[in-house]
Amino acid sequence: MGRKKKKRNIKKSTLKSLITSIIRKNPGKAFNYKQLSKQIGVGDENTKRLIQIVLEEMEQHDLVVSVSRGKYKLKSKSIIVDGIIDINSAGNAYVICADLDYDIFIHRKYISNIVSGDKVKVSVFPSFKKSKKEGEIIEVIKHNTEQFVGVVELAKNHAFILLSNPKIHFDIFLPAKEIKSIKDGQLVVVNVVDWGDKKNNPTAELKEILGYPGEHQAEIHSILAEYNFNNKFDKHIEDAAKNISSKITSDEIKKRRDFRNITTFTIDPYDAKDFDDALSIQQLKNGNWEVGIHIADVSHYINKNDNIDKEAQERATSVYLVDRVIPMLPEVLSNNLCSLRPHEEKLCFSAVFELDETAKVCNEWFGRTVILSNHRFTYEDAQKVIIAKKGKYVEELLILDSLAKILRNQRMKSGAISFERLETKFKIDEEGNPISIYFKESKDAHKLIEEFMLLANRKVAEYIGKQSLTFVYRIHDSPDPDKLDVLSIFLKKFGYNLQTENKKTIAQSMNKVLKDVQGTQEANMIETLSIRTMAKAVYTTENIGHYGLAFNHYTHFTSPIRRYPDVMVHRLLQHYLDGGKSFNKTKIEKQCKHSSEMEIIASKAERDSIKYMQTKYISQFVGHTFDGIISGVTDFGIFVEVKNTACEGLIRLKNIPGDFYIYDEKNYCVYGSQTKRTLTLGDLLKVKIRKVDIEKREIDMVIINI
């Protein structure tokens, strides 16, 4: 005699969840209680009756609709929308839809083989709650990337690629034909050829073997591969660049304004190779100063839509990692033909200004020029001359420094915000190991160059803007009032007052805060939070001005070697100087959008390379104790920044000794459930480096005393 089947006692809430899942997966199909019972896998009469009751209750709550006697389907109020998905470390996600004023929450159970940035189609669940809309992904419209980096886990006839990105929650399958040349534990680049489904992992083909985790070259190349940056140019691009003539003909010079006999020099970082800007200065008969801002004439050497130009359009920007530059243009252009090297005749696109002693612009001129740089200064060299008031071209440097300081003061009075974060730099040995970390500070020589580049960018934008012609603007929107209020409340905890009444008071009080925090233990954290409060600057044809700089018109004209929008600006400016008609806005806007997107991706790669190098540096100090400051608070732990290195590590809440700690989002702190002791942003701690994972770029810490 067979054993009696055990009855399944399913709760009503569980049944409701199962039924909801089934009808959401089949939005156009109607079900009766028998069909649902079969799909759920229950057969007893009590449960079947309970299913019918649940269906009737769901109808009352407007979640399903009865289409015939006993048959129900998803309420038609459910909407289908497209959007971009953003997945968090826990595996849940939000889909951002351009047509909606809210984001849609997607539970991790509805997410498989999907990556942040993918364009997806979402079914939004019926709900009367306006505060939180939920849905599920019914289709991936377009995958954001098909290239991934990970570590090989080798089996007999296949391999899995384990991805280190905490926001990717699947592994990638490599079939037998792809594993012949790889070894277990290697770091590789793969291309997905089949995205699979909920049951199967994506399948890929091997693209490149990088080396092993922890090896410097392998790690740097993995960052480039992760963001799909090509560190080399195809041969046909390199060949095209090599075939460009470097000869400057007398006919070409005749077309240009000649600055070869006027004092001209460059000021750049000591390790720079691409000098894309130079300054000339001469005193006019009326006592005013003529200052020329001379920019490499890249658009003379590359023709619109030729192979080099198309590659530059796609790259949109050079990428600056800790130990190398991935250039936008082949090096024969960026470091040779276009680079404004000393004692060489060079073709430029220039903005020339007549300035009086108050730095007022009396006259302006834009056009193509030829120059001959007399000297190449590093920032350090120029700074020494400015401080000592002696040395090469001392008079010219001091005049430029004086005018630059006036221009800067005028900007600040107009409401510009002075973000002067220290730049993290590394001293690196021949094998790519970081020897030390130091911080690059912006001094007078840096500010001198900055002010004249800002002047050129502003005046070029004003010149075109006043004519209402299609142009590339660099815009920066005013900060979100809610974010400002949150920052203001936070700053009050440190004794700083941020006034948010209007644009001018925001800028003035923000500058005061940024000045007051200099040299304090919380400086880096407050500067970081202040920057995050600001909107992101972007390229567009729709001018709204630049909030952070307090300019009504602004563009990027001064770095065409490393930014494609500057090449676009040069071409548009020359077209309009020649009397051309306004360009098609749609096409220019599309290029602007791409350049903005690529700028963000490049910034992420640059940050990742810094994080990698910081992690590698601190790995030699596992077990050592440091002073740190709490730089971030989350529901799973606190982030602590090690003083004098800017290396940031995590202390998990469960590892904080002496109590069970609870996250308080509103007050930027965690507190002990028993002791009520709080740990908040800006608190000083003594920490020990517990573990370092260079591959994942993670630093785990523990608190020494609390």
Please indicate, yes or no, whether residues 269 and 378 belong to a single structural domain of this protein. yes
Query: What is the structure's pLDDT at 107?
Result: 87
Strand positions, DSSP E, 155-310? 159-163, 172-174, 187-194, 203-211, 257-258, 264-268, 277-283, 289-296
Domain range for 639:
622-705
CA atoms within 13 A on the CB side of 14: 8
Is residue 638 one of the residues assigned to a domain?
yes
**Nearest CA among 246, 353, 231 for reference residue 297:** 246
Please indicate, yes or no, whether residues 345 and 310 belong to a single structural domain of this protein. yes
Is residue 4 one of the residues assigned to a domain?
no
Please indicate, yes or no, whether residues 655 and 589 belong to a single structural domain of this protein. no
**Nearest CA among 303, 309, 301, 300 for reference residue 256:** 300
Please indicate, yes or no, whether residues 186 and 271 belong to a single structural domain of this protein. no
Is residue 392 one of the residues assigned to a domain?
yes
The residue among 56, 74, 92 that closes a domain is 74
Query: What is the structure's pLDDT at 77?
Result: 56
Please indicate, yes or no, whether residues 250 and 368 belong to a single structural domain of this protein. yes
Q: Report how far Cα 186 is from the mean position of its chain's Cα atoms.
A: 28
Alpha-carbon torsion angle 466, 469, 473, 475, nearest 10 = 60
Question: Over the stretch 189-214, which tens digit does the pLDDT of each residue have?
Answer: 999 999 988 778 999 999 999 999 88
DSSP label of 619: G
Handedness of CA 657, 659, 664, 669 (dihedral sign): negative
Question: Over the stretch 663-692, which tens digit does the pLDDT of each residue have?
Answer: 988 777 899 989 989 998 888 899 999 999
Query: What is the structure's pLDDT at 646?
Result: 86
User: CATH number, domain at 663?
Assistant: 2.40.50.140
Please indicate, yes or no, whether residues 454 and 570 belong to a single structural domain of this protein. yes
What's the number of domains the chain is made of? 5
* Residue type at position 38: K
Q: How far apart are CA 338 and CA 253, in angstroms?
A: 16
Q: How far apart are CA 408 and CA 454, in angstroms?
A: 10
**Nearest CA among 307, 384, 296, 361 for reference residue 333:** 296
Please indicate, yes or no, whether residues 130 and 184 belong to a single structural domain of this protein. no
Is residue 504 one of the residues assigned to a domain?
no
Are 302 and 308 in contact, with CB atoms under 8 Å apart? yes
Q: How far apart are CA 24 and CA 556, in angstroms?
A: 49
Please indicate, yes or no, whether residues 264 and 174 belong to a single structural domain of this protein. no
Q: How far apart are CA 266 and CA 246, in angstroms?
A: 20
Q: How far apart are CA 201 and CA 676, in angstroms?
A: 46
Please indicate, yes or no, whether residues 126 and 24 belong to a single structural domain of this protein. no
Q: How far apart are CA 531 and CA 396, in angstroms?
A: 35
Other residues' Cβ atoms within 10 Å of the Cβ of residue 359 = 20
Other residues' Cβ atoms within 10 Å of the Cβ of residue 178 = 20
Is residue 325 one of the residues assigned to a domain?
yes
Please indicate, yes or no, whether residues 573 and 659 belong to a single structural domain of this protein. no
Please indicate, yes or no, whether residues 425 and 303 belong to a single structural domain of this protein. yes
Please indicate, yes or no, whether residues 157 and 255 belong to a single structural domain of this protein. no
Q: How far apart are CA 64 and CA 55, in angstroms?
A: 8
Give me the residues of the chain with pLDDT under 70, please.
1-9, 27-28, 76-78, 126-132, 706
Please work out, in degrees rounded to the nearest 5, the angle formed at the alpha carbon of residue 425 by the alpha carbons of 422 and 427: 150
Query: What is the structure's pLDDT at 238?
Result: 96
Q: How far apart are CA 156 and CA 401, in angstroms?
A: 68
Is residue 449 one of the residues assigned to a domain?
yes
User: Would you state the structure tokens that stand for residue 295, as one six-digit string?
Assistant: 């920019």
The residue among 585, 608, 631 that closes a domain is 608
Are 462 and 553 in contact, with CB atoms under 8 Å apart? yes
User: CATH number, domain at 52?
Assistant: 1.10.10.10
Q: Is 382 helix (H, G, I), strand (E, B) or coil?
A: helix
Q: How far apart are CA 630 and CA 641, in angstroms?
A: 6
Radius of gyration of the CA atoms of the chain, in A:
30
Are 381 and 396 in contact, with CB atoms under 8 Å apart? no
Q: Which residues contact 106 (CB under 8 A, 6 or more apart)?
A: 85, 92, 93, 94, 95, 122, 134, 135, 136, 137
Is residue 309 one of the residues assigned to a domain?
yes
